[in-house]
């Protein structure tokens, strides 16, 4: 049987058409296409699909994205269209002219909630022009574990009160644009040493240490955030048996009853290894919904995976393993969300296009900066882009050259095949020039630390730049978004 036949086939005999629609509302699907989309997706939307999630693969330019979202809503007007839109290089709308903002960590360093609100307003205003109505942002995780591989500069910081005030500013500004924000990843992904994209993450801290991580989420709920996203993380102090996405104790007892959140709770993507390897996407969908999630995301464009999750939910309803009441509750929340946000904005007022660069500059200059080094040889070391997160190809030298055309150097993404030969070449080329050595989270990527230290041993006069979390450098960007690097470039060039 083909996916087309599965998709258009009738609901199980004991599942009414209304309940079938309710089940479909509990799904968010990724797909391929920029100007057209698969017939399977059309039929899923027609049967009640709750939402779609866009990625770089769906984006060519702003006009194309608006035509795509209009075409999707022509099938079903209450379809929610969402996208990851955190700023700081974490987003998928570079091709559509996304406003440049520095990312959450730099906003936390600048620590001006009004400025954070201006950045969030710019991002949300841009979404409104594109017909995108849900932003899977902001990140509410606290950056607690130095070796955490996935949160880092996506977080506002490690302090609960700081994160809380910036979350409130972000959520309020996004709401004012008629866009649904989504605080993530409940109850916090910042205390792990594993990226849940690649494996099951565990936060081993005792319950009293986890309380701080809950505070930003409490603040987000108090600010009226309409959506939360769960973490694929096991917290033995809260539930030793299941990751939060699949835990009734965490989603039900803690989030719904203790914290009092009654908005839409959406899972992180089910194809992430933390779920797919241990449970499978289909079983993950069923368990997550039974545990208290309202929607589950299948971000991969293979709609067979989405259909498998849909069928698992329908089978669970028919067999009684998933109660009708739980599905009606979840679908009801999704309907209320759609009633509030799914209708895309009409004419959209402009936003402050300079807010992001202002924020990046304030973060970079929040502490003493080194003297300018015009005509420098720049070595920019950074890991290859994370496959699940968009990256626009930004590098420090590209941002520096408009201010200092005499600058030279290279961007090094990933460990070179012959580090020694490259280091010798760099030292020869930079012998009569100032040297700038930039690293991005070298503590997580030992090749960067080795490369940097070998250069510094022979050029102790070099200027050190940290483009991830601060690691003892002379100058910090607090992220690798274009405006982060531009603000550092201005300091290096003395402009």
Residue with tokens 């005999």: 13
232 given a catalytic annotation: no
CA–CA dist 152, 160 (Å, integer): 15
CA–CA dist 80, 337 (Å, integer): 9
Catalytic choice (166, 185, 197, 377):
197
- Count the alpha carbons within 13 Å of 164 in the hemisphere toward its beta carbon: 14
Structure tokens at 435: 């040297």
CB 49 within 8 A of CB 82: no
CA–CA dist 104, 445 (Å, integer): 22
- Specify the DSSP element, H or E, that contains 326: helix 324-341
**Which residues are 270's β-sheet partners?**
none
**Which residues are 177's β-sheet partners?**
none
197 given a catalytic annotation: yes
Q: What values do phi and psi take at 266, rounded to 5? A: -115, 145
CA–CA dist 397, 338 (Å, integer): 44
Cα dihedral: 4, 8, 13, 14 (round 10): 110
Which residues contact residue 54 at a Cβ distance below 8 angstroms, ignoring those fewer than 6 apart? 30, 65, 68, 81, 82, 83, 92, 132
Cα dihedral: 114, 115, 120, 124 (round 10): 90
Nearest Cα to Cα of residue 451 among 470, 486, 475, 427: 427
Question: What are the CA-CA distances from residue 431 to residues 124, 245, 424, 434 (Å)?
Answer: 47, 54, 10, 8
Give the count of beta carbons closer than 10 Å to the beta carbon of residue 325: 8
**DSSP state letter for 254:** I
CA–CA dist 213, 204 (Å, integer): 13
CA–CA dist 47, 7 (Å, integer): 9
Catalytic choice (213, 239, 268, 395):
268
Residue with tokens 């509030």: 340
Strand pairing class (201-202; 180-186): unpaired
Nearest Cα to Cα of residue 223 among 261, 267, 185: 261
Burial of 24 (0-12, 13-18, 19+ CB in 10 A): buried
Between vectors from CA 327 to CA 323 and to CA 328, what angle results, nearest 5°?
110
Task: Tell me the catalytic residues.
Answer: 197, 268
């Amino acid at each position: 049987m083909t996916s087309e036949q599965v998709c258009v086939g009738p609901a199980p005999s004991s599942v009414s058409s209304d309940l079938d629609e309710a089940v479909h509302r509990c799904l968010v699907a990724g797909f391929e296409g920029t100007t057209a989309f698969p017939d399977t997706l059309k039929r899923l939307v027609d049967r009640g699909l709750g939402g779609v999630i866009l990625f770089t693969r769906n984006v060519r330019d702003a006009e194309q994205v608006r035509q795509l979202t209009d075409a999707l809503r022509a099938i079903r007007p209450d379809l929610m269209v969402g996208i990851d839109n955190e700023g700081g290089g974490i987003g998928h709308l570079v091709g559509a002219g996304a406003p440049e903002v520095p990312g959450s960590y730099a906003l936390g360093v600048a620590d001006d909630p009004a400025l954070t609100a201006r950045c969030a307003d710019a991002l949300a205003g841009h979404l409104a022009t594109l017909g995108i109505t849900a932003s899977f942002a902001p990140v509410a995780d606290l950056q607690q574990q130095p070796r955490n591989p996935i949160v880092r500069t996506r977080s506002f910081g490690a302090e609960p009160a700081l994160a809380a005030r910036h979350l409130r500013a972000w959520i309020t500004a996004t709401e004012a644009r008629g866009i649904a924000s989504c605080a993530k990843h409940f109850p916090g992904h910042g205390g792990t040493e594993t990226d849940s994209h690649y494996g099951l993450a565990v936060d081993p801290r005792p319950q009293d240490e986890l309380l701080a991580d809950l505070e930003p989420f409490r603040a987000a709920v108090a600010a009226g955030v309409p959506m939360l996203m769960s973490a694929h993380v096991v917290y033995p102090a809260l539930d030793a048996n299941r990751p939060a996405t699949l835990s009734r104790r965490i989603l039900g007892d803690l989030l719904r009853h203790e914290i009092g959140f009654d908005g839409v709770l959406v899972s992180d993507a089910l194809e992430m290894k933390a779920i797919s390897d241990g449970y499978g996407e289909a079983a993950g969908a069923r368990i997550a919904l039974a545990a208290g999630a309202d929607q589950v995301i299948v971000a991969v464009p293979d709609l067979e995976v989405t259909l498998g999750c849909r069928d698992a939910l329908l089978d669970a309803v028919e067999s009684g393993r998933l109660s009708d009441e739980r599905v009606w509750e979840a679908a009801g929340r999704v309907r209320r969300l759609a009633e509030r946000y799914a209708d895309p904005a009409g004419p959209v007022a402009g936003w402050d296009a300079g807010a992001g660069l202002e924020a990046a500059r304030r973060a970079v200059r929040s502490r003493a900066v080194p003297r300018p080094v015009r005509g420098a040889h720049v070595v920019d070391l950074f890991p290859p882009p994370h496959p699940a997160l968009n990256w626009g190809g930004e590098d420090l030298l590209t941002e520096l050259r408009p201010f200092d055309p005499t600058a030279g150097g290279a961007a090094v993404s990933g460990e070179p095949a012959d580090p020694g030969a490259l280091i010798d070449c760099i030292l020869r080329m930079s012998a009569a020039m100032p040297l700038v050595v930039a690293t991005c989270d070298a503590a997580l990527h030992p090749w960067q630390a080795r490369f940097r230290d070998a250069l510094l041993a022979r050029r102790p006069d070099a200027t050190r730049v940290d483009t991830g979390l601060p690691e003892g450098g002379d100058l910090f960007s607090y992220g690798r978004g274009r405006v982060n690097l531009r603000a550092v470039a201005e300091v290096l060039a003395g402009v």
